[in-house]
Amino acid sequence: MSRIAQRFKELKERNEAALIPFITTGYPDLQQSLRIVLALAEAGADIIELGIPYSDPVADGPVIQKASQQARAAGMDLKAFFSLVAEVRRKTGVPLVAMTYYNPVFVCGQKRFADNCRQSGIDGVILSDLPPEEGEEWLKIAAGAGLDTILLAAPTSTEERLRKAIDSTSGFIYCVSRLGVTGADHDLSSSLRPRLERMRAMTDKPLCVGFGLSMPEHIRQVAALADGAVIGSALVRLIADNAAAPDLLDKVRGFTALLKQATIR
Amino acid sequence: MKEWHFGDFGGRYVPETLMPALEELAEEYARAQADPTFIKELDYYLHQYVGRPTPLYQARRLAEKLGGARIYLKREDLCHTGSHKLNNTMGQVLLARRMGKPRVIAETGAGQHGVATATVAALFGLECDVYMGAEDMRRQALNVYRMRLLGARVIGVESGSRTLKEATSEAMRDWAATVEHTHYIIGSVVGPHPYPTMVRDFQAVIGREVERDMLQQEGRLPDYLVACVGGGSNAMGLFHQFVDKGPRLIGVEAGGLGLSSDKHSASINAGSPGILHGAHSFIIQDDQGQVLPTHSISAGLDYPGVGPEHAWLKATGRAEYITATDAEALEAFHLLAEYEGIIPALESSHAMAGAVRLAPDLERDMLVVVNISGRGDKDIDEIAEVEGVDL
């Protein structure tokens, strides 16, 4: 059983949803982002998504775009990413998901990328712009390396596409809460509940919701409907607002603990 | 998925949110192609609104000056709005209407595609937003004002190199949020399937007219076809009719300050295989797959990618791709102005520069067609500035 599957099993027994924070690695700098990941794990993150910054993040809103740009300017690259992961893995058993776009993986070589993921301690991979039709080769390589590949289900996905995503995904399925790109919102989309109910009827695989979640109330609502909640831009913005503050890590821990509370049903 | 690709190139690499819209678009486009009413409507607007057919004009004075081959100019600069871009936006706006989408968006570099999109939006009463890099808004200020006069909103993009790449990314983000009521009119043969095929088909009228007119004027097909390649829509439009026939196909990429300078936009000549804006093609990137900044004096060619069909034509050896530097393009610009009374766009000046290099070495009975994809009025301020002339 993969580390991600094991985590969902434990959460189910405790009647909790997964809290899945996302951060852009290398932001605000390499050392701080390592401390941030460890702080997330300490404060109760169930799975952590580690963004590998990319030059053209078409699925991301302004907060993550800016963090990605700064992380790259500060020297973040694949080599630094895998050393960060290895460092994290030495200190915690929290499931780790690498999230990026397809081009860095393609240029690195899919096999080499998957091997590096496995060796450094990554458990799953999300490639935002690789739909299952184009990802057949990656899905095979990832499975061969023992990695989960988490596919996305969008509000626009047809029944046929949902079926395809559900069948091909492993670890969990990432349900995009609304149209548009990543970013923190005030309210959750009203169409979320019926969509999750429809998907629940289609699969037993864990359903996790992301895009737009920014506060404990959102997590509470999602925890009632799904198996996990992803929080990205709101966390990256907290890091951006406190990048130079001496209590940055305390703030990250406090925010994470607050969100984790909201996942307890 | 064979129909999505050109050999290994092309495809559909986009976030899931956009996948259903691409499926819908591909299906609607297939239906439209088989619908005589659609073909007739597009034909009508191409004739009566765009101003087609455009002339195939023999540039005798220029050819005499260069020595060598006979040179014909395909005058896409004489299309309404001043470039070939309207051929495509007209086709796509008719599709948007068929799909019942009341809003269109576009990315633009030089502003020609933005103007062509704003134009068809005005013609059919659709809402229109155009994304344009802030740097391009500065160097193509005239086109920004034209779009606004046409009723479009021009949204400046401040991220990255503030040019066409960022404008395209921002348009894709808009589309992901508005896909239910918005059609994204991509302006070149780039992007996810079906765009590269569809845009090529809408531009293929260029090559069909060239074939017909050349047979009429010379009684045979041309020997060389020369076009500039940024994304590559005017080049694919010219080449498509001839891919299975004899003419040599020459694409001219923007060499900027030279390929060794890192300040160029020559994706095929100096890039490597990768994925950008939804398609697998050649892109200008580092060894980590991060896309690099580009440069060209011509905003319309200042893009780190190229249409996947060009990548395929390059890989199979069917087409050849050369480069022209900023300086060579400027020289060709002046040559065409002074010897033929035609002021070409800086983009098209690259095609002209390719012909300037090619023609003198060819026999006098060789036929070279150069695609003058747009007119240069929009570039006058920029050229004056580069050449230190105070207007």
Write down all domains in chain A, each with its CATH number in brackets: 3-261 (3.20.20.70)
Provide the β-strand partners of residue A49: A22, A97
pLDDT at B64 over 70: yes
Q: What percent of chain A has pLDDT over 90?
A: 97
Nearest CA in chain A to B14: A129
Output A185 or A230, whichever has higher pLDDT.
A230
pLDDT at A174 over 90: yes
pLDDT at B2 over 80: no
Is B172 within 8 Å of chain A by CB?
yes
Residue A16 is a catalytic residue: no
- Kindly list the residues from chain A whose CB atom is less than 8 angstroms away from the CB atom of residue B278: 129
Q: What percent of chain B has pLDDT over 90?
A: 95
Contact B13 A152 (CB under 8 A): no
For residue A211, the distance in angstroms to the closest alpha carbon of chain B comes to: 12
Is B11 within 8 Å of chain A by CB?
yes
- Rg (Cα) of chain B, in Å, rounded? 19
Residue A60 is a catalytic residue: yes
Integer Cα distance of B367 and B257 in angstroms: 30
Mutation target for B interface from A82, A102, A156: give the one with most B CBs within 10 A. A156
Strand order in the sheet with A96-100: A148-149, A124-127, A96-100, A48-51, A18-24, A228-231, A207-210, A173-176, A152-153
Please, which pLDDT band fits residue B391 given cuts at 50, 70 and 90? Answer: confident
Integer Cα distance of B214 and B126 in angstroms: 38
Q: Mean per-residue pLDDT for A181-194?
A: 91
pLDDT at A209 over 90: yes
Is A74 within 8 Å of chain B by CB?
no
Contact B180 A176 (CB under 8 A): no
Residues 6+ apart with CB under 8 A from A46: A7, A11, A16, A18, A19, A20, A94, A95, A228, A260, A263
Residue B74 is a catalytic residue: no
pLDDT digits (tens, 9 = 90+) for B213-242: 999 999 999 999 999 999 999 999 999 999
Integer Cα distance of A209 and A196 in angstroms: 9
For residue A46, the distance in angstroms to the closest alpha carbon of chain B comes to: 25
pLDDT digits (tens, 9 = 90+) for A34-54: 999 999 999 999 999 999 999
Please, which pLDDT band fits residue A255 given cuts at 50, 70 and 90? Answer: very high
Please, which pLDDT band fits residue B110 given cuts at 50, 70 and 90? Answer: confident
**What predicted TM-score, i.e. pTM, was given to this entire model?**
0.97
Catalytic residue among B74, B76, B83, B85: B85
Residue labelled with tokens 């580390």: A3
Burial classification of residue B154, based on how many CB atoms lie within 10 Å of its CB (0-12 exposed, 13-18 middle, 19 or more buried)? buried
Residue B1: its pLDDT value, please?
57
For residue B126, the distance in angstroms to the closest alpha carbon of chain A comes to: 21
Whole-number average pLDDT of chain A: 97
Please, which pLDDT band fits residue B159 given cuts at 50, 70 and 90? Answer: confident
For residue A168, the distance in angstroms to the closest alpha carbon of chain B comes to: 14
Query: What is the distance in angstroms between the CA of the first residue and the CA of the last residue of chain B?
Result: 54
